[in-house]
Amino acid sequence: MRRLYTVLIALPIVYGVIRYLPAWALTVLVVAGGSLALRELYLISFIGQSTRLLTGIGLVTSALVIAHQHLPITLPTVLILGVLAVLTTLLRPALSENYRVQNAAVALFGVLYLGITLSTLIATRALPNGELLVLFVLLVTWGADTGAYYVGTLWGKHRLAPAISPKKSYEGLAGGILLAVVIAALTQSWLLPHASVMHAVALGLLLTATGLLGDLCESAIKRSVGVKDSGGLLPGHGGMLDRMDSLLFTAPTFYYYVTVIHGLVPLP
Can you give the pLDDT at residue 25?
A: 96
| pLDDT tens, residue by residue, 224-250 | 988 887 766 655 557 899 989 999 999
- Is pLDDT above 80 for 186? yes
CA distances from 200 to 55, 105, 125, 159 (A): 39, 38, 18, 28
In this predicted structure, what is the pLDDT of residue 64?
98
Higher pLDDT: 92 or 220? It is 220
Average pLDDT, the chain: 90
- 6 band by pLDDT with thresholds 50, 70 and 90: low
Mean pLDDT, rounded, for 66-91: 95
Q: How far apart are the first and last CA of the chain?
A: 43
89 vs 236, residue with greater confidence: 89
Q: Average pLDDT in the 61-86 region?
A: 96
User: For helices 2-20 and 130-155, what crossing angle results, to 10°?
Assistant: 170
* Per-residue pLDDT at 235: 59
- pLDDT at residue number 1: 55
Instruction: Give whole-number Cα distances, 169 to 36, 41, 161, 245, in Å.
Output: 29, 25, 8, 18
Kindly indicate the confidence band of residue 167, based on its pLDDT and cuts at 50, 70 and 90.
Answer: confident
